[in-house]
Amino acid sequence: MKQNIYDHPIFFKEYTSLRESGVTYNDFVEQPAIKSLLPTLDGKTVLDLGCGTGHFAKYCVNHGASKVWGIDISSKMIKRAKMENNHDHIDYICKPIEDLELANQKFDLVVSSLAVHYIEDYSAVVKKVSGLLVENGEFIFSTEHPIVTANKEAKKWVKDSQGNNLHWPLDNYQEEGKREQHWYIDGVVTYHRTISTLINTLLDNGLALEKLLEPQSTPEGLKVMPKIVNETRRPSFIVIKSIKKN
Amino acid sequence: MKQNIYDHPIFFKEYTSLRESGVTYNDFVEQPAIKSLLPTLDGKTVLDLGCGTGHFAKYCVNHGASKVWGIDISSKMIKRAKMENNHDHIDYICKPIEDLELANQKFDLVVSSLAVHYIEDYSAVVKKVSGLLVENGEFIFSTEHPIVTANKEAKKWVKDSQGNNLHWPLDNYQEEGKREQHWYIDGVVTYHRTISTLINTLLDNGLALEKLLEPQSTPEGLKVMPKIVNETRRPSFIVIKSIKKN
């Protein structure tokens, strides 16, 4: 059963309201990192895995992409995408990433922003992506950093007796698999994978590593979101750019 | 000034006695991982950066390497290597890795076991290694895991009031540079670098990533060194295999 938290009414409301605030880790850490890795989009065909409300799909056509497919498990997200980020050159598909089938279709670029940690079978998705890329096509994705997802129990700051943040806990690194947490609602499931699994699975599927980022905040983010400075103490995300080789 | 702790009489005595015990993280975690990544050594020329007492150099000639150069900053280590692991096909050179000059020499394989974290200018060494490799030659090395080296202060287990191990602390991840600790003697300096720096520096110097390991213990290690099971909770080492591309 693929998880579809984004169709949960409370989660959807809270999450979309957060994203609309424009003051998020996505805005100042993750999206700038993903965008810094993008090739020229001019004339490119793009597949966006976990497209949400379609901001990135629209960004791609605005930057010259000839055609973008956005796929997302959440019908609420896809509905919003079709309303807010509609475009002749974008097709939105409501489907779990794992069930994606695009026969006879090849892409110049596959992008996935913070969706991979929701997927149980990473290897199957990487294999599918590799098969969907043209030669020298690129797969660029972000995911929660394994040093964040590792812990099974405590995930938050360890504090001293005065309540000051001391450091983060680290544990359970080699125990890959399901992690459950509260994020607006109970029971949000993500999957922990080690850095070696994230990388070697790409290499084993004909994708060469081009760049790995553990992004910090942009200067603007530091101004409007002071706590984001803590990204220097522990990065929340890892962003990977890989290229299809035959 | 390059650090030469291995010539310190107390450090040298303690360290060599530890290694001779045969019951170490090197024996059960790091060396098995390095060896699992080695290509066929038959007829190969090998450079071993930080060769210590020459065990690995000898292993290479025993497995068919046509010629091995072992380099180490410590004259005590090189002296011991020449006594204990001498061979017609091995040259031992007492020199800091950073000062290595081998004009007109190219290698099929460059290996470095747990020496890279002592080197301040990682980028310069990677550049040098890349220049020393033949096309498709490999650079395989192990280093302390960035999630271990990150912390500037507390490095050991966080314990509960009963003294039970809770988890490790994680902090200061993005602050690369010098870390000082006590290991037999005070003031042992290592250099923390992020995973992205470790990897991107290779990619930027014409080396493609082939495999990344975060090794756990061998079954034998779990029997004779019970505490080594904690490698599942936080890996001590990262082992990287890369290949020279033109």
Its ipTM equals 0.94
The whole-number pLDDT of residue A1 equals 58
Q: Are strands B177-183 and B185-192 parallel, antiparallel or unpaired?
A: antiparallel
Please provide residue A118's backbone torsions phi and psi, each rounded to the nearest 5 degrees. -90, -10
How much is the average pLDDT of B144-153?
A: 93
Q: Testing the interface with B: which of A173, A232, A239 to mutate, by most B Cβ within 10 A?
A: A173
Any idea of the CA torsion for B240, B244, B245, B246, to the nearest 10 degrees? 150
Instruction: Give the Cα separation of B36 and B43 in Å (integer).
Output: 19
Cβ-based contacts under 8 A for chains A and B: 99
At A221, which helix (H) or strand (E)? helix A219-224
How much is the average pLDDT of B168-181?
A: 93
Band the pLDDT of B10: cuts 50, 70, 90: confident
The whole-number pLDDT of residue B192 equals 97
Collect all residues of chain B within an 8 Å Cβ-Cβ radius of residue A200: 211-212
Instruction: Give the Cα separation of A133 and A122 in Å (integer).
Output: 17
In chain A, the residue whose alpha carbon lies closest to the alpha carbon of B213 is A196
Instruction: Give the Cα separation of A123 and B165 in Å (integer).
Output: 33
Contact A170, B234 (CB under 8 A): yes
The tens-digit pLDDT sequence of chain A (246 residues) is 577 888 888 878 888 888 788 889 999 999 999 999 999 999 999 999 999 999 999 999 999 999 999 999 999 999 999 999 999 999 999 999 999 888 789 999 999 999 999 999 999 999 999 999 999 999 999 999 999 999 998 678 888 888 888 889 999 999 999 998 877 778 889 999 999 999 999 999 999 999 999 999 999 999 999 999 999 999 999 999 999 997
A33-59 core/surface letters (b: 16 or more CB in 10 A; e: else): bbeebbeebeebbbbbbbbbbbbbbbb
The mean pLDDT value of chain B amounts to 93
Per-residue pLDDT tens digits for B92-144: 999 999 998 887 899 999 999 999 999 999 999 999 999 999 999 999 999 99
B218-241 core/surface letters (b: 16 or more CB in 10 A; e: else): eeebbeebeebebbebbbbbbbbb
Task: Give B192's contacts (C-beta < 8 A, 6+ positions apart).
Answer: B117, B146, B149, B150, B172, B175, B176, B177, B178, B179
Contact B147 A168 (CB under 8 A): no
Terminal Cα-to-Cα distance of chain A (whole angstroms): 33
Collect all residues of chain A within an 8 Å Cβ-Cβ radius of residue B196: 212-214
Rg, chain B, Cα only: 18
Name the one residue in this structure whose structure tokens are 């799909």.
A57
> Residue B126 is encoded by which pair of tokens?
């990677």
For the purposes of burial, counting CB atoms within 10 Å of the CB of B96, is it exposed (0-12), middle (13-18) or buried (19 or more)? middle
Instruction: Give the Cα separation of A206 and A107 in Å (integer).
Output: 15
Looking at the DSSP bridge assignments, the partners of residue A46 are A68, A109
Edge-to-edge, what's the strand order for the sheet holding A133-144?
A: A90-94, A67-72, A45-49, A107-113, A133-144, A237-244, A207-213
The whole-number pLDDT of residue A10 equals 84
In chain A, the residue whose alpha carbon lies closest to the alpha carbon of B216 is A174
DSSP code of B30? I
Domains and CATH numbers, chain A: 5-146+192-244 (3.40.50.150)
Provide the 10 A C-beta neighbour count for residue A221.
20
Of A179, A133, A119, A126, the C-alpha closest to A153 is A179
Contact B168 A170 (CB under 8 A): yes
Contact A200 B211 (CB under 8 A): yes
Point out the residue among A172, A200, A234 whose CB comes nearest to the CB of B171. A234
The whole-number pLDDT of residue B157 equals 83
Per-residue pLDDT tens digits for B201-234: 999 999 999 999 999 999 999 999 999 999 999 9
> Residue A246 is encoded by which pair of tokens?
């035959």
At A228, which helix (H) or strand (E)? none
Helical axes B195-204 vs B122-132, angle rounded to 10°: 40
Contact B132, A128 (CB under 8 A): no
Looking at the DSSP bridge assignments, the partners of residue A183 are A185
Name the one residue in this structure whose structure tokens are 């004009």.
B103
What's the angle, vertex CA B188, arms to CA B187 and CA B189, rounded to 5? 105
Point out the residue among A167, A174, A216 whose CB comes nearest to the CB of B171. A167
> Residue A19 is encoded by which pair of tokens?
């994203």
Contact A208 B210 (CB under 8 A): no
The whole-number pLDDT of residue B154 equals 64
